[in-house]
Homo-oligomer: A and B are copies of this chain.
């Protein structure tokens, strides 16, 4: 951890750029703007060597100008800061459609050509830079995985601050510049993420500098923050805990001077906060971190009016301010004037290379924000030091002889992961770490919290590194930022409420999928999501807490990145967790309940089972393996596994002539054909487990349709009869939940009888017996209504 003294002279120099510096800042910015406009408009004549004609213009004009000049203006000034101070920084562009500005920045810094040699720093390269933008086979109009220096996709809005805060946790030397657009600032996730400062410890973490860029408009109208009184906006951000610094205007070089002063002020405050915290001169209270509000016109430096209508400063500047360039000579002339207003001849030499006045601004080597290793976190990733998970095993003498809260064992493992990796592992959870039985982690670390704590608080302090905030968006996003900068973690949440952040799971999956296609992006730690407090066991929480939706969401992601595990007990959970924590660039979804549950497998069996992903539980069935059984009872998920084993036991006792095979599936993706998922088991293996003709009664934790889609294309997939969660729920006992969803042991027995290849005598009687048992249950529920009876039948 570097502790430097803030040099007052340095701060003053930073705050007051000299003429040369302003010239360089302005040149770099003009070059960036020129390249931005070129990307939107030009297919040829990149350097404007000849008068602009319609043939030089792209056939279809796509892109976003409005936010770009503000983004590049800030970028230029941060580059100067880096040059002067050696500060390590990354840049997160919340207004994601400022893609061309960020691409142009990487290009001017040389990084773009290093990563994509064909886009060289010369005229052909510039031409290619222009032509690839918003073009088929090219790059999107927003900041994306392909943009060097980015850990933040410009797609779904709202996550720039969560990514920034995640990136600086346990990353003391990093400054993350997070530009928040005023459109994005209207989203719930963004508004909920200002509070990140309540969780950042200046001694141990790096800093986020939010820059709220109020340019006034979004796609089609004004934004709320831009039209509220400045006093209100100021109060709002002060209320979030920031020291607000405001810069406003469009005058030049005035804006360069004022922004340089504001940035110097902000950086000086950040360093002072960090020095005081790291030097020991700190009372432990939450610092007031600086934040800059920058008000500049949307589309700044673009055409002011078009066809007599005001464009700059309005929503009309959002995308393509001059839309008729190919047809309208007036628009063509305006475009040429606009581009020439940047004086490209000063910015690029004869070969099209950036001139010295431009490149003078670029920081050296990997201090360039587009080249920061923190924005390609895989290169910084160190393996986790994981203790041997076998040491946490439950000693299972025989299947289901005891119950245990499986996640408690995981908590113990995670506790020791915390202890061994105090610089690179965190758990993120919406206030439920204890509720989810992971509380052992508090033996190793408190919850992190920078606001006041009181005497009677427990396991919470500024030094804590377990992250609890009642916001799935924050938890998920912080973990993404932490992962993408090369560190490891887990997000644990209630199953039903995992849907709150489902879109983040989708978008992060897309990021990982894209990044796997880029050689230069190193793999990062996987995003591990643990769902507990599941649909089947929300006993006193009602229907609103019951939903296995996230499995369905992850199943739609590609095999390259999506993994879904349903360990049925503690030892399988430990094995799965160990595997996930070691993996890279996946979405690992682990689903298991937190309540006491039967333990099935010894650790050795669990490892074998998890390695294969699925297996026959011989001890549970009556199948001797010499020929196909009469029926296969399959299961995936803890509660339904218990019902399946119970069903098999009923069949064993009451219909012993029926040959029943019990198959348990841990790795859900194993069901998929190998051509569709790398975990997909071979057809031979599939047939070994499920035969290729015998009917399969499959009890599944999630929605039944998931299994139907997974086994599609497998031999005679129609023979799979799936029971699962069918959106029947209420406040009730776990066993009643299985009855309501028609996935109880009695339903499974009846399904087995209805579908068995061969029916021994007595089957009809057994069906009647099952019906009677269900009627008995029904009567019992009615009788004991409102009495919360002991949980009958909830055992083997």
Give chain A's interface residues, CB within 8 Å of chain B: 43, 58-60, 62-63, 128, 131-142, 144, 153-158, 183-184, 186-195, 198, 218-224, 227-228, 232-241, 309-310, 314, 431-435, 447, 449, 451-454, 456-460, 468-474, 496-497, 499-500, 502-503, 506-507, 510-511, 513-514, 539-545, 547, 549, 552-553, 555-558, 703-706, 708-710, 712, 716-718, 726-727, 730-733, 736, 781-782, 784-790
For A198, list chain B residues within 8 Å (CB). Answer: 224, 228
Instruction: Name A705's closest neighbour in chain B (CB-CB).
Output: B709
CA distance A539 to B138 in the complex (A): 11
Distance from A262 Cβ to chain B, minimum over Cβ atoms (Å): 20
Task: Decide if B220 touches A158 in the complex (CB within 8 Å).
Answer: no
Give the residues in chain B near A513, CB-CB below 8 Å: 543, 727
Is B543 touching A510 in the complex (CB atoms < 8 A)? Answer: yes
Q: What's the least CB distance linking A287 to chain B, in Å?
A: 13
Indicate if the CB atoms of B451 and A545 lie closer than 8 Å.
no
> Once the chains bind, are A220 and B787 in contact (CB under 8 Å)?
no
The docked-state distance in angstroms from the alpha carbon of A447 to that of B158 is 23
Enumerate chain B residues within 8 angstroms of A500, measured Cβ to Cβ: 156, 158, 187, 503
- Distance A137 CA – B183 CA, assembled complex (angstroms): 46
- A46 and B154 CA atoms in complex are apart in Å by 59
Q: Identify the 10 closest CB pairs spanning chains A and B, nearest first.
A: A236-B239, A155-B544, A188-B192, A140-B542, A705-B709, A131-B786, A227-B451, A235-B239, A499-B503, A62-B540
**B470, A157: Cβ atoms closer than 8 Å:** yes
Smallest CB separation, A669 vs chain B (Å) = 13
A236 near B240 with CB under 8 A, answer yes
Q: How far is the CA of A459 from the CA of B315 in the complex (A)?
A: 12
Tell me which of A139, A543, A557 has the highest count of chain B C-beta atoms within 10 A of its own C-beta. A543
Provide the residues of chain B in CB contact with A137, threshold 8 Å.
Answer: 730-732, 736, 781-782, 785-786
Interchain CA distance A155-B709 in the complex, whole Å: 30
Kindly state the separation between the CA atoms of A473 and B141 in the bound complex, as whole angstroms.
Answer: 25
Contact indicator B499/A787 (Cβ below 8 Å): no
A366 to chain B: closest CB distance in Å?
Answer: 26
Known: A239-B233, A730-B140. A497 touches B712 (CB 8 A): no
Copies, count: 2
Task: Tell me, rounded to whole Å, the shortest Cβ–Cβ distance linking A781 to chain B.
Answer: 6
Does the CB pair B43–A432 fall under 8 Å? no
Docked CA distance A772–B592 (Å): 49
Q: Do residues B727 and A558 form an inter-chain contact, with CB atoms below 8 A?
A: yes
A789 CB to nearest chain B CB (Å): 7
Query: Does B544 contact A510, Cβ atoms closer than 8 Å?
Result: yes
Interface pair B190/A186, CB less than 8 Å apart: no
Given contacts A134-B731, A233-B239, A506-B547, contact A786 B128 (CB under 8 A): yes
Closest to A731 in B: B140
Q: Check B709–A706 contact: CB distance below 8 A.
A: yes
Interface-centre pick from A137, A241, A457, A730 (highest chain B CB count, 10 A): A137
B239–A456 CB distance below 8 A: no
Query: Can you name 27 A-B pairs with beta carbons within 8 Å?
Result: A43-B787, A58-B788, A131-B787, A132-B785, A133-B786, A136-B736, A137-B731, A137-B732, A137-B786, A140-B541, A140-B544, A140-B731, A142-B542, A144-B543, A155-B496, A156-B499, A157-B470, A186-B470, A187-B188, A187-B192, A187-B470, A189-B192, A221-B431, A239-B239, A314-B456, A502-B502, A510-B543
User: Please, how many angstroms separate the alpha-carbon atoms of A135 and B733 in the complex?
Assistant: 8
Tell me which of B183, B314, B433 contacts A220 (CB under 8 A): B433
Contact yes or no, B187 A473, CB < 8 A: yes
When C-beta atoms are compared, the residue in chain B nearest to A222 turns out to be: B457
How near does chain B come to A693, taking the closest CB pair, in angstroms?
13
Q: Which of B154, B499, B736 contacts A506 (CB 8 A)?
A: B499
How far, in whole Å, are A237 and B191 apart by their CA atoms in the complex? Answer: 13
Q: Tell me the complex Cα distance, A483–B124, Å.
A: 57
User: Which residues of B sit under 8 angstroms from A139, Cβ to Cβ?
Assistant: 542, 731
Q: Which of B128, B227, B237 contacts A452 (CB 8 A)?
A: B227
CB nearest neighbor in B for A553: B549
Query: Which residues on B sit within 8 Å (CB–CB) of A541?
Result: 140-142, 155
Question: What B residues does A736 contact at CB under 8 A?
Answer: 136-137
Closest CB of chain B to A307's CB: distance in Å? 13
- Select which of B191, B227, B435, B705 is within 8 A of A192 by beta carbon: B191
Q: Which of B154, B195, B705 contacts A712 (CB 8 A)?
A: B705
Given contacts A140-B542, A187-B473, A233-B239, contact A221 B456 (CB under 8 A): no
